[in-house]
Each structure stands twice: as C-alpha cells, then as structure tokens.
Structure 1
Amino acid sequence: MRSRRVIYADTYRHRWHRWLFIAGCILVSLLLLGWWLQRNPRPDPATYPILGVRLDQTDGVQDFYRLRSSKVSFVYLKATEGSSYFDDNFNTNFDQAAGSRLSIGVYHVFSFETTPQAQALQFERKVGSNIGDLPIGIFLSYYSERKPSAAWLTQHLNAFIMAIQQRYHRSVLLMGSPDILAKVKTVVPQAPRWIVSNKRPAQSGNFWQYTNGARIPNGPQAAYRAAVFLGKRSSFLRLAQ
C-alpha cells in the first residue's frame, strides 16, 4: 500500500525554504553593514600623510590621544551655527584636544537665515579665545531648498569674515562642496579651501574631506568625517599659528 503524504508537507517545505532565504538575506545584510562600518577609504598615506577629522556633537566626546596615536594630525571642531546654536561638546573637546599635541581648528556653520553680524557675535560670545592654531573654518552647505545666488553669498560671507577678522586677526578656511565653493571663489581667494568630495579635487594646497563617515586606520571603532591636507607638510605648518 502506498504511503500517503501529509497534505501540508509542501506548504511546510516552502515555508522552511522561505525562512532560510530570509535568514540568508539578513546575514548578508549584516556582513555588508560590517564591511561598511569597517571600510577604510583613506587616500594613500605616502602621498597625503597629513590626516585629520571634522567633529561635531554627534561624534560625542573624543579620546584625542587615541586619535593622535592613529596618526591623526589635526581636528576641526564645530563651534557654532547661525546666530543661536552652540555645539554641546565644543568646550569639552577643545580642552581635551588642547593637551593632545594635535593641531586644532574650530568652525562655524554659516546660515542663510540670519545676518552675518549676528552670526559673528554668536561665534565670538561662545568661542571666546578658544580658536586653536589653524584658520577659522566657515562651513557652507545648502541645508534647505533655498540656494542663494553667488552675489548674495559673496556679500554676506565677506561681511561675516570682516567681523570675525576684526576680532581675531586670524585667516579663514572656507569649507563645503565644490559647487558651493565655486560660488564664493572671489571671497578671500588667497584663503585655503576645505573641499568635501568623494573625488580628489583639482586644486592643490587645500584640505580634502574624502568621506562623510568612515573609519580611520587603526583608529577608534567609529566613523569619522575624515580629511587630508593636499599640500606639503611645510605648507600645513605655515597654516598653524
């Protein structure tokens, strides 16, 4: 007499295969995520030996001695944004970075919504004398649908820089994507540029932020906005005051 198959045997088998497929997809996703977190796109250290990171409060309080031991040479700390924002970790990170023998820069995120004078006052009030030894950074980005014209950006950025330099007598560093930096190419043209791009910028003697989130070699288990200096070490040392 032939054995009779349970009517739901195929259903159970299909369900088992489906769960195996789902489990396999999850495993592959986890492996890809692990690779993504561990990846190291750092440009060739022999060509670009001077490595740095750009930090804000989303990165938390840092171990700057660990960064230094990972061959990081400089850090840029976010201080202010617009006329009212102050980074929660700025003071703590600045104090700790000051004893690490890292070169330190601070930066302000420029706003299209408030006046240059109000933004300069916020920077001066919150930062005080803690400006480090590198040029003061001014970060530009299109954070909304509004994209000011080149003329508007040039006028307002010049006003902000004038107010900052009257207080600090320090050079500035313009930071942003190639697109937005092209709009302000006439603003302090002798000042260095920090270019955010996944491709090497054509200009020389600038900072190149090559990633918005990746590990640094032998560094902490965290993703950083990392950058390299494109010029010679002697040029970098001349920037530090």
Structure 2
Amino acid sequence: MKRQDVQPIYKRARNRGLFFGWGLVFFIALILIGGGYGIYRYHRNQILKEYPIKGVSISQANGYIDFEQLKTDGYKFVYIRASQGSVYTDDSFDNNFQRSQGSQLPIGVYHVFSFSSSPNSQFTNFTRQVGYDTGSLPIAISVQPYSKYNEDTLDYPRVSKELKLLISKLKNYYKRPVIIWTKRSMVSQLKLRINSRQQSWLSDGRLGHPNSDATFISADQNAAVETDNQTVFLNESVFNGTVQEWHNYLNKNLSQ
C-alpha cells in the first residue's frame, strides 16, 4: 500500500516538472524570437534612415485612407491604383484621387500590367479610368509575375514588345515619364532601357545596397500605418536619393 501511495505522487511531481521544463523552454524561445525581431527592426530602421523620402501605394483593398494622416506620419508621396489589365478598374480610385488633392502630397497613379491583354486594350482601360487625373509623379506600370505567368513560363519577347508598346502610348498621350515597377530580373529579361523618361521602381531592391538605376525601391509590403484611429497595412516604398535630390526630382517632373 505504501508503494502504491507513493507512485502517484511521484508521477504528479514528474509531470509537474516536465510542464515547468517545457514552459521554460517556450519562454526562452519567445525571448529569443522577440529579441531577434527587435534586432531586425532596429537594423532595418537604421538602414531606412539612409532613405529620408518614403511613400505608400494604395488600392481599394486598403479601405478609407486619411491622406492628411499619412502626411503627418512623414510620408512624402502616394501612388494610387487606377486599373488592371483591359477591364478591371479600382473602385476607390476616383474617391482616393480627389481626397488626395487636399493633402498637397505628390501623387502618382499606377496600372497593373496584364500578360494576357493587348496593350491597346490596357491603354484604353487606363485612360478611360483616369482621364487626366494622373497626379504629378510619373505614371507607374506594375509588372509582377502571377499565377501561370511566372518568371519560368513568360514569353519574354512577346511581353517585352507589348509592354514597350503600352509605355510608348502612355508617354506620347500624357507627355510625361513612365516608371516600371518590377523585379530587377524582369528589367533585364524584358530588355527595358532605364532613363529619365523610362524609370524603374524595384520591387526586390535591397535597401542599403547599390541601386543606382532605381528611382524608387519597395521597402515593406505590410507597413503598419495608423490612420483614422485604426491600423492599416500599406505597401511602403522609398525614393532612392536625398531630400535635395527629391526636390530636384519633383521640380523636373512638374516642369514636363
């Protein structure tokens, strides 16, 4: 009887010890993960200090955006999605664009390129949606692989020809520069020439590393922004230059 009485006590003590042991391991793991994330954020924030001009891109998926709050939070420019492919338009474009004008922030608009639609139909869709509400920044074309149109399956010669035709039509129609928002590898594969009239916005540029040919660099796809008493997650990018270079850039684009 004495042995039977002792065994349950021993088992309970052992189980209790295992519970506290695993709890301690879990607690230490949380500290290490939290510490690692804290170090990462600190390092990232230090790198971001090299890029004093930051902005965001928005679409209907982000809901209501308070542009005055964005300005208060230190953002210096905003890109607004207008259209995608040959038929899709952003439901919030008109509202976002009109409200953005009161903020005095430099505004740009962007079109999401479709690999399955003709450049003529995409041009028509974009111009019909925005009219001349294109803001003051270069018109952006987002060229990102998706679904079955990935980097391994794209017909690059065909896509390059169609994209260049769309770029040409937009530049001629609006008499202003165009900026291509894509991966560095896509710039190379599509044989895109980068210059003042045809700029690049790298979606995979590495902050803190040389990106001499990039005008903008994507920094954080889910940057937490406090606006209208709630947190929204926006696609954050930075201008690849100093404050003075940003002012020169704006003056050059506004004069075109």
* Structure 2 counterpart of 1:229: 239
Kindly provide the CA deviation profile for residues 147-180 of structure 1, in whole angstroms up to 9, marking residues without a partner as x. 4243222210111122223432221001011111
Q: Please say if residues 53 and 75 of structure 2, whose CA atoms lie closer than 8 Å, have aligned partners that are also in contact.
A: yes
What's the offset of the Cα at 1:109? 0.6
Q: Please say if residues 198 and 211 of structure 1, whose CA atoms lie closer than 8 Å, have aligned partners that are also in contact.
A: no
List gaps (5 residues or longer) in structure 1: none
In the comparison of the two structures, how many residue pairs are matched?
A: 236
* Structure 1 counterpart of 2:221: 212
Distance across 1 between alignment mates of 2:124 and 2:24? 55
Answer 1 or 2: which has greater helix percent. Answer: 2
Aligned pairs for 1:1-241 (under 5 A) are: 2=2, 4-5=5-6, 7=8, 10=11, 14=15, 21=22, 28=30, 39=41, 41-42=44-45, 44=47, 47-146=50-149, 147-187=153-193, 189-190=195-196, 191-197=198-204, 199-200=206-207, 201-204=210-213, 206-215=215-224, 221-231=231-241, 232-241=245-254
Q: Please give the secondary structure, in 2, of the residue aligned with 1:131.
A: coil
Distance across 2 between alignment mates of 1:75 and 1:155? 29
What's the offset of the Cα at 1:57? 2.0
The letter for the 1-side match of 2:250 is: L
The letter for the 1-side match of 2:240 is: L
Distance across 2 between alignment mates of 1:64 and 1:170? 25
The letter for the 1-side match of 2:173 is: R
Distance across 1 between alignment mates of 2:148 and 2:46? 32
What's the offset of the Cα at 1:15? 8.3
Q: Please say if residues 80 and 93 of structure 2, whose CA atoms lie closer than 8 Å, have aligned partners that are also in contact.
A: yes
Q: Please give the secondary structure, in 1, of the residue aligned with 2:233.
A: coil
TM-score, with structure 2 as normaliser: 0.76
The letter for the 2-side match of 1:195 is: L
Distance across 2 between alignment mates of 1:69 and 1:78? 22
Relative to 1, partners in 2 of residues 1:20 and 1:192: Cα closer, same or farther, differing over 3 Å? same
Distance across 2 between alignment mates of 1:21 and 1:128? 62
Distance across 2 between alignment mates of 1:5 and 1:158? 83
Q: Please give the secondary structure, in 1, of the residue aligned with 2:145.
A: coil
CA RMSD between the two structures: 3.4
Distance across 1 between alignment mates of 2:25 and 2:233? 27
Identical-pair percentage: 28
Q: Please say if residues 56 and 89 of structure 1, whose CA atoms lie closer than 8 Å, have aligned partners that are also in contact.
A: yes
